[in-house]
Amino acid sequence: MKQSDLAHKFLNYINLESEVDDFRKIHDVIERDLVFKGTNLWILVFAIIVASVGLNMNSTAVIIGAMLISPLMGPINGMGYSIATYNFPLFRKALKNFSFAVAASLLASTAYFAMSPISTAHSELLARTSPTIYDVLIAFFGGLAGIVATSSKQKGNVIPGVAIATALMPPLCTSGYGLATGQFEYFFGAIYLFTINTVFIAISSVVVSQILKFPITTLVDNAQKVRVNRWISVIISLVLIPSIYFGYKLVQQERFNENASRYIDNVSLVEGNFLLKYEIKPNLKRIKLVYGGSTLTEVQKETIRNKAANFSIEDAEIDFQQGLSFDALTTHSSEVDNLRFEVNRLNLMLQEANSILDSINEKKYVGKALLSEIKILHPEVIYCSYSDAYLFGDTLPEPEKNALVIFKLSGNKFSDSDRERVHRWLMARLNTEKVKVFYEH
């Protein structure tokens, strides 16, 4: 009993029928939103231009804003709803409005990109050129959320989120870019992504409409139902199979990228050579390695290539490029040696000049040191002057360098013995026999 109560409560939690709006109101909302004229048409054109500018400037925020104001979801839900209820007049009306909206969008985006001075394909634009099975899942579950919200009494703000998730506007703008620039691979890739989104949003509308048992308001026989279901199966297969293939390629590329990154970490340092930079191209299964150091030998290159098998990328094409080469430097060894010798010579000259400057600065304070030392024995000395002087004479081949010392006394004169003793002290102190001493009173 308890288990049945739990099951009953669970079914009540997930039940949609209790919150389904009146079928007449749902029909009126869907029929109103699929029409493109007047306000809806201008909103669509403006949204296309905004999205094109966002792709052109690689601005995610602008692209999201364009998706929010886009009214493209209306006719797609209308096609799904009309198929589920076998309302063929409504389907033709929805298909006609949808085709008109697509044509107007392509015309507006092509015109914009043809006039735009910027023709670079940025990342936001390139992201719309390679659809995969994951885009199918996004479109299908996003469409489910959209049709469930449309049929609910609560409505809420689900539709803007679905418009962003399923991204109907950017692929149309990218198709316009491909037409304007003559890059038809972009056009076909983006149109395929738009087709995926359109078909699986519509399929999700069919699924929810049948689950909620929307009433069939037209007379239809079993043969027509079978024919419609057969066409639905064919369209789903035509759209789904290529996306599965592209999804498989995407998974393989991601796996190659991951294995290649681990391989590069392993070969970043090889016998004194270090990896300066690398480039991985998973779609081509190609790796470019730029090494610095001594030039790689063919044996070393082959060793690096063989390591790829350890990381399950043995079929990868590995290209080598030499960056900074020490071998190139050694070929100019004589120039390098000459430069090194010149630098050493200049360093020696600089050291000699610095030592001369240091000795000149020190000599300024020799007189001060002599004064402090002589005052211990002769306090009457109050001043001392010291300098180097050069003596010139006819009989001297070269100028004779002398240490010149002048003492100024406050009172008593020095005796001859004192002068002789001071003279001998200065010769020892200054480490020279050429000393001239003068006394002032």
- Please count the other Cβ atoms lying within 10 Å of the Cβ belonging to residue 158: 17
Residues forming a β-bridge with 381: 409
Please give the C-alpha separations between residue 95 and each of 35, 176, 238, 320, 428, in angstroms, as whole numbers: 10, 21, 19, 55, 118
| Cα 231-234-240 angle, rounded to 5 deg | 135
Asked if 126 contacts 190 with a C-beta cutoff of 8 angstroms, the reply is no
pLDDT in tens, the chain (441 residues): 456 667 666 666 666 666 676 778 878 888 887 777 778 788 888 888 888 888 888 888 888 887 877 777 888 888 888 888 888 888 888 889 888 888 988 998 899 888 888 777 777 776 777 777 788 888 888 888 878 877 777 665 666 666 666 677 888 888 888 898 888 888 888 888 888 888 888 888 888 888 887 777 666 667 777 887 788 888 888 887 887 887 778 788 888 888 888 888 888 877 767 788 888 888 788 889 888 767 778 888 888 888 888 888 888 888 888 766 555 555 555 565 666 666 666 766 777 766 666 666 677 778 888 888 888 888 888 888 888 888 888 888 888 888 888 888 887 777 888 888 888 988 888 888 889 988 887
Instruction: Look at residue 340 in the predicted model and tell me its pLDDT.
Output: 65
Q: Is residue 167 part of a domain?
A: yes
Q: Is 211 exposed, middle or buried (0-12, 13-18, 19+ CB in 10 A)?
A: middle
Q: Based on the domain organization, do 207 and 117 belong to the same domain?
A: yes
In a domain, 246, yes or no: no
In a domain, 236, yes or no: no
Q: Within this chain, do residues 347 and 277 fall inside the same structural domain, yes or no?
A: no
pTM beyond 0.75, yes or no: no
Residue 318 within any structural domain of the chain: yes
Q: 339 and 294, same structural domain?
A: no
Secondary structure (3-state) at 70: coil
Give the CATH number of the domain where residue 266 resides.
3.30.300
Domain end among 190, 220, 250: 220
Question: Is residue 268 domain-resident?
Answer: yes
The answer to whether position 228 is within a domain reads: no
Q: Give the per-residue pLDDT at 355.
A: 66
| Residue that is last in its domain, among 220, 246, 266 | 220
350 with 282, same domain?
Answer: no
CATH of the domain at 398: 3.30.300.30
The answer to whether residues 317 and 372 belong to one domain is: no
* Rounded Cα–Cα distance for residues 162 and 434 (Å): 105
Is residue 66 located within the same domain as residue 215? yes
In a shared domain, residues 301 and 213: no
403 and 352, same structural domain?
no
The answer to whether residues 295 and 413 belong to one domain is: no
The CATH number of the domain holding residue 49 is: 1.20.1080
Domain residue limits at 94:
2-220
Domain co-membership, 52 together with 191? yes
pLDDT for the residue numbered 33: 77
Please tell me whether residues 17 and 147 are part of one structural domain: yes
Q: Are residues 192 and 120 in the same domain?
A: yes
Work out how many domains the chain is built from and give that number. 4
Query: Does 244 map to a domain?
Result: no
Q: Is residue 238 part of a domain?
A: no
Q: How many residues does the chain have?
A: 441
Sheet holding 435-440, edge to edge: 381-391, 400-409, 435-440
